[in-house]
Amino acid sequence: MLFDIFLVLSIGAGLLMAFNLGANDVANSMASAVGARAITVKQAVYIAGILNFVGAVFLGSHVTATISKGIINPDIINDPTIIMLGMFAALVSASLWVLVATLTSLPVSSTHSIVGSILGFGLVAGGPGVVNWGTMISVVLSWIISPFFGGLIAYGVFTLIRSRILIRPNLIESSRRWAPRWIAFTMLLLMLSFMYKTPAGKSLHLPLPVSLAITLGVCAVAWLLGRIVINRLCDKMEDSVDGVECIFRRMQIGTSCYVAVSQGANDVANAIGPVAAIFMIAKHHQLLPKADVPIFLLVIGGAGIAMGIAIFGRRVIATVGERITTLTNTRGFAVDFGAATTVLAASSMGMPVSTTHAAVGSVVGVGLARGFAAVDFRVLGKIVLYWLLTVPIAAFTSIVIFQILRWTLT
């Protein structure tokens, strides 16, 4: 009876967590596009909501498994009821912290929040030995890696755009050559991710030469179509920076969609991972070594993310897209490319990378490409402070909730 009650409660808590991460860090997928005036806030809410849902439902299962089983070793905690109470406490704790951050318009990592919460109850329930410190180290490294590599890639992409297009004497002709190449390269990353890292791609069981041939073929088609469209656009453009920005505005909408799908795939684990663990315990009265994550849980996670974006998403969009540095469409394209590449690479390895850190790191990267004065370090300082507070606050809150539940129910 207790298992059934907590299964229902945990689904509600998972929905709440999904709502909060939709309101906070998932909104980052559209922040650069809104900041660069490529799309309106209303359009961003619709696009991000739909694509995050698609990413969560169809691409999110492999990372979900990492969150539910990777942070602590459940074999040391013999009582499945304790694990169930702890996962529930972790969900509630992480939800509350992300909600507080959203109401103050600051982006925090839902990944930090849920990992810190699971770490908190794990330490109380089983002591330091219950924590998979090797996994924790890889998670902590991803927190450093994601902003660093996001910023580095975004810096490199924008520097390349500037050197190959923006400072050339013939801007539109340079755009005509380079824009289709960026479209093809973006398609290459998408196809490789689909072929090797998604359940749908893996189910095809294609030999390596065949999958590579299909990927390269799709990239060639994307390059050709991109060239045709870009040529038509260039014929209507004046040879000016505004003309280049207009071309990249179209491309940026595509990359923002690319970020939204990858975010849904990666971040749904933060809401559904603990629910999946509780589902297993309720069904089998133990946490099995391996089990499929039910599709209805991913649907609930995707729906919660979409609702969060719709209701509170614009708060964090304003901070990331407008307050750290001034974004244009070329800079926004570089931001999206850097963040999406970092998130997809980490997600494909089953690493619960922080989308928020990758996005903010990418924004800072393109800002620094124009010098230190281009970045508002006061806003960045507040964001980093919240990042540093996330794990200890989430862990402490989780411990308090877990102890209250344990003393009351066991």
Distance CA 404, CA 408 (A): 6
Whole-angstrom distance, CA of residue 281 vs CA of residue 86? 12
Structural domain range at position 279: 1-409
Residue 136: its pLDDT value, please? 78
375 close to 327: Cβ distance less than 8 angstroms: no
Q: How many structural domains comprise the chain?
A: 1
**Whole-model pTM?**
0.84
User: What six digits make up the tokens of 20?
Assistant: 């909060």
Which of the two residues, 47 and 285, has the higher pLDDT score?
47
Among 78-92, 195-209, 329-343, which stretch is predicted with the lowest mean pLDDT?
195-209
Q: Tell me which residue has tokens 């877990």.
A: 402
Query: Residue 72 carries which DSSP code?
Result: B
Share of the chain above pLDDT 90, in %: 20
Model confidence band, residue 322 (pLDDT cutoffs 50, 70, 90): confident
pLDDT > 60? residue 409: yes
Q: Tell how far CA 65 is from the center of its chain.
A: 16
HSE-up of residue 137 (Cα within 13 Å, Cβ side): 3
pLDDT digits (tens, 9 = 90+) for 198-215: 656 666 778 888 888 998
Query: pLDDT per residue over 4-40, tens digit each?
Result: 788 888 889 889 988 988 888 766 778 888 888 888 8
Mapped onto helix, strand or coil, the DSSP state of residue 48 is helix
The whole-number pLDDT of residue 69 equals: 55
Mean pLDDT of 265-275: 77
pLDDT tens track for 302-321: 888 888 888 888 888 888 88
Residues 335-394 pLDDT 10s = 888 887 887 777 666 666 677 888 899 999 999 988 888 899 999 999 989 988 998 999
Among 65-69, 104-108, 157-161, 246-250, the minimum mean pLDDT is found in 65-69
pLDDT above 90: residue 94 = yes
